[in-house]
Amino acid sequence: MTNISKSNLIIKNRKFTAEALWSMGRINGYDLFDNKLLYTVSYYDIPKNGSSSHIIIKTLNSKEYTDLTSKMRDSNDQLTKNCAQSQTNAIFDKNGRGILFNSNGKLFEYYFDSEQVEQLSTGSLDISEFKISPDYSKCLFISSVEHSYKNEDYNDLPLTSGMIFEDLNYRHWDEFNTSLPHPFVSKLNNMKFEDHPFDILENEPYESPLKPFGGIEQLCWSKDSKKIAYTCKKKVGKEYATSTDSDIYVYDTETKTTINLCKDFEPKNYGFDSNPMYSPSGKKIAWVSMERDGYESDRSRLIIFDLGTKKKSFVSEWFESNVESFDWINDCQMVFTGVWHGLTHIYLIEINNDNELVNHEQITTGQYDYKSVKWFGNMLIVKRQSMIEADELYELDLKTKEIKQISFENDFIYTQIDKASVQPKWMKTVDNKDMLVWVIYPPHFDSTKKYPTLLYCQGGPQSAVSQFWSYRWNFLLMASEGYIIIAPNRRGLPGFGMEWLEEISLDYGGLCMKDLLTSVDIMKEESYVDSDRLGCVGASFGGYS
């Protein structure tokens, strides 16, 4: 693998370009130990046609940082040098003496004192993601098991790549289902694998996590390190392909027994259920739950299951949009992110001992999208983006609501460019309803001039047009080329209530299309919009639009 490091791009004429976009660092996972922040960031290189993931370590109150990956590349130890080529899922170990990470399908630890790595995993299984149990006695990890569709009637053609399918589900997006992700568990002795890992879903034709987008967030350890909650859709063939009904299962590593939290207890859950997380005491477990089977764009709600009383409580019914990232603060407080009126903010909820909602409040403000939240015992670390700024990490004080930036990956880009500006506009639709439209203006916008204008058509078709940063549909890049961009939250988008979300159903060429055209018609009345130079961009349902 080619070594790729952080770009030192020099930008000319203060113009944000495609080269600048691909020179930006893309922050992924993060962890905290005392006042040390760890995060992984991906760097890309166009001439080399590749990318590399780096581990960054810094103290919270300083801009200074250590690129641990680059340091490892310079090591005299060959194993340490080799591990620097690929690093993912990095976290601090129990005592902060080192860092656990995944490299080339194996689990390693880097020790700060020796500045060398040690391989912890054994055997032939490749590890894609992992979670260490709270008592550090076990490792839960994801590995693929073979699920072949080759027909045994053609054993005389051993070199053929052909496959015979007689049922669904044989393909996800761009890959055939020749393997299944399964959760494995191995005991640890001084952090090293002690025994042969066992497969929680051994001989079962199911996935956990779920393809194509699921990851380790769909599984979690219980606080006593004895049980594993995991997301699984235990269906095959056509039933798998036509259903969204996944469930939360709890597997006991000691008794080898499994219970289904969604179907074994009332009320039963029949929609898409995922992302379980135990409360700090271990007495409760929360996850996100959709109500209806077969409806991919149903509202995602936050549910709490009391492991003692077996009671289920939906605690986000007041929020008529989707619960996205969430975390426990304590057994009676939680935070989550969700989109409302084109902004994804963080909300704090308080519940009583019966898991009944007592209070809820929005605790962040501003024209941003908050994409993840993690509670580290005394502080909340969050990831934030907007249409003109990529992901960075922030520290949020729950008491004062103060927010402080703690990562600065892309300052070297921002200091060299002139940014676009973004304004919300509310417009009347053809049926006299209010629609939020984001308008993105070029740098140095001059209202006395005329500008070519693009209509952005969202895909999904039920995905929010919020303050998102995209490396595919990048509004800052479009605006920097001199375009005004119109980005409507047309019919069918979340964040405006269920009626607005579901008005697109069975009407894909109707009001949602009129909403798009309405936004252009209204903006054409502005003197600075050149009505002779109008275009549109979009993919998936956006391309259909």
Taking residues 421-432, what's their average pLDDT?
Answer: 98
Instruction: Answer yes or no: do 441 and 404 share one domain.
Output: no
CA distances from 284 to 280, 303, 306, 309 (A): 8, 10, 5, 10
In a domain, 137, yes or no: no
User: 69, 96, 119 — which closes off a domain?
Assistant: 119
Q: 4: exposed, middle or buried (C-beta count within 10 Å: 0-12, 13-18, 19+)?
A: middle
Residue 232 has pLDDT above 70, yes or no: yes
Q: Tell me: the pLDDT tens digits for 26-78?
A: 999 999 999 999 999 999 999 999 999 999 999 998 889 999 999 998 888 88
In a domain, 445, yes or no: yes
Instruction: Answer yes or no: do 426 and 392 share one domain.
Output: no
Instruction: Answer yes or no: do 411 and 457 share one domain.
Output: no
Q: How sure is the predictor about 150, in pLDDT bands with cuts at 50, 70 and 90? A: low
Phi-psi domain of 354 (left: phi exceeds 0; alpha: psi -120 through 50; beta: other): alpha
Instruction: Answer yes or no: do 386 and 426 share one domain.
Output: no
**Mapping DSSP to helix (H, G, I), strand (E, B) and coil, where does residue 531 land?**
strand
Domain range for residue 481? Answer: 421-544
Q: Which residue has the higher pLDDT, 516 or 146?
A: 516
Helices (H), 322-434: 411-414
Percent of the chain topping pLDDT 70: 99
Looking at residue 151, its pLDDT comes to 62
Instruction: Answer yes or no: do 433 and 471 share one domain.
Output: yes
Q: How many CB atoms lie within 10 A of CB 388?
A: 22
Residue 152 has pLDDT above 80, yes or no: no
Instruction: Answer yes or no: do 387 and 459 share one domain.
Output: no
Instruction: Quote the mean pLDDT of the chain.
Output: 95
Q: How sure is the predictor about 195, in pLDDT bands with cuts at 50, 70 and 90? A: confident
Instruction: Answer yes or no: do 407 and 443 share one domain.
Output: no
Task: Say how many Å lie between the first and final Cα of the chain, rounded.
Answer: 40
Instruction: Answer yes or no: do 13 and 39 share one domain.
Output: yes
Instruction: Answer yes or no: do 52 and 112 share one domain.
Output: yes
Residue 1 has pLDDT above 60, yes or no: no
User: 90, 119, 148 — which closes off a domain?
Assistant: 119
In a domain, 196, yes or no: no
CA distance 502 to 438: 21
Q: Tell me: the pLDDT tens digits for 375-404?
A: 999 899 999 999 999 999 999 999 999 999
Taking residues 513-518, what's their average pLDDT?
Answer: 97
In a domain, 250, yes or no: no
Q: What is the CATH number of the domain that holds 339?
A: 2.120.10.60
Residue 174 has pLDDT above 90, yes or no: no
Instruction: Answer yes or no: do 101 and 75 share one domain.
Output: yes
CA distance 234 to 192: 32
User: 368, 393, 415 — which closes off a domain?
Assistant: 415
Instruction: Answer yes or no: do 511 and 432 share one domain.
Output: yes
Looking at residue 100, its pLDDT comes to 97
In a domain, 499, yes or no: yes
In a domain, 83, yes or no: yes
In a domain, 292, yes or no: no
Q: What is the CATH number of the domain that holds 504?
A: 3.40.50.1820
Looking at residue 172, its pLDDT comes to 79
Total structural domains within the chain: 3
In a domain, 210, yes or no: no
Q: Which residue has the higher pLDDT, 302 or 296?
A: 302
Instruction: Answer yes or no: do 16 and 90 share one domain.
Output: yes
